[in-house]
Amino acid sequence: MTSLRSVTLYCSSSRSLDPHFAVAARAAGELLARRGITLVYGGGGLGLMGEAARACKAAGGRVEGIITRKFLDLEQGWLGCDELVVVDTMRERKRILIERADGFLVLPGGMGTFEEFFETLVGRQIGDHAKPMAVLDDHGYYLPLHSLIEHSIRERFAREALREVLRFGTELEPLVDWLAAEAAAPVTADPERFLPMGPKNSSPPAH
Ligand code: AMP
């Protein structure tokens, strides 16, 4: 059991987005600052990553960035971070992003965000961590991801317990409230409830 002191944010590094996506990214940064929650992210200055980090800092929040040496240049590592950790590999970057979080917030993003999302979700499923994940379905961007996950549960490739640790929503505040409530709840990383193979001795459903 812990309180929500830090949230790791996964989101886009793209410079080519419709500007409407920046609104929620800035709102996320400001909300975390207002609540005194440290924003942990990939350390870049571009795209929604940069928008969220700058907004958080401007609102008086604390920002920690984790970036690789190579991406310092490519993603314009943001030197305004209170702490900018420079690592050698993407693996190391993701490990620290997960380690430093009390919960995760996912905003629209591309392949990097998808990878971070799935790696973190699988980490929860196999019991590597017990931290909640919230996905902001901004402008309907994550409807396909949400339906894919629901589809996988309906078809029994994934377990219903996933819904307890992963929340989709269209409003930021309730998602952060939920992260805070989950982070404060006494949860254990209990892979038996999440792993697709199901409990021992369970038989396949009749069709
Ligand atoms: P994107 O959603 O593709 O704009 O990427 C969002 C963030 O994920 C960026 O900071 C990328 O550098 C990062 N990223 C992309 N691929 C990886 C990877 N293999 N491991 C860790 N981070 C990654």
Residue 37 inside a domain? The answer is: yes
pLDDT at position 206 is 60
Q: Which domain holds residue 36?
A: 6-194
CA-proximal residue: ligand 1, atom 23 (nearest): 112
pLDDT at position 28 is 98
Q: What average pLDDT does this structure show over 105-134? A: 96
Residue 206 inside a domain? The answer is: no
End-to-end CA distance of the chain: 41
Q: Specify the CATH number for the domain of residue 131.
A: 3.40.50.450
In this predicted model, which residue has the larger pLDDT, 197 or 84?
A: 84
**Can you tell me the distance from the alpha carbon of 70 to that of 186, in angstroms, rounded to the nearest whole number?**
39
CA-proximal residue: ligand 1, atom 7 (nearest): 112
Residue 199 inside a domain? The answer is: no
Residue 87 inside a domain? The answer is: yes
207 pLDDT higher than 60 = no
**Can you tell me the distance from the alpha carbon of 207 to that of 202, in angstroms, rounded to the nearest whole number?**
15
What's the pLDDT band for 201 if we cut at 50, 70, 90? low
What pTM value is reported for the model?
0.93
In short, whether 90's Cβ falls inside 6 Å of ligand 1 is: yes
What's the pLDDT band for 203 if we cut at 50, 70, 90? low
CA-proximal residue: ligand 1, atom 15 (nearest): 112
Structure tokens at 144: 């396909």
CA-proximal residue: ligand 1, atom 3 (nearest): 112
Are 28 and 49 in contact by the 8 Å Cβ rule? The answer is: no
In short, whether 12's Cβ falls inside 6 Å of ligand 1 is: yes
Residue 200 inside a domain? The answer is: no
Q: What average pLDDT does this structure show over 57-68? A: 98
pLDDT at position 141 is 98
Candidate from 90, 118, 141 with most ligand 1 atoms within 8 A of CB, to mutate: 90
Number of separate domains in the chain: 1
Q: What average pLDDT does this structure show over 194-207? A: 70
Q: Give 122 Cα–ligand 1 centroid separation in angstroms.
A: 17
Q: Angle, nearest 10°, between helix axes 111-125 and 90-99?
A: 60
Residue 207 inside a domain? The answer is: no
Mean confidence (pLDDT) of the chain: 94
Residue 203 inside a domain? The answer is: no
Q: What average pLDDT does this structure show over 99-116? A: 98
Q: Give 12 Cα–ligand 1 centroid separation in angstroms.
A: 8
> Which of 148, 140, 85, 87 shows the shortest CA–CA distance to 121?
148
Residue 115 inside a domain? The answer is: yes
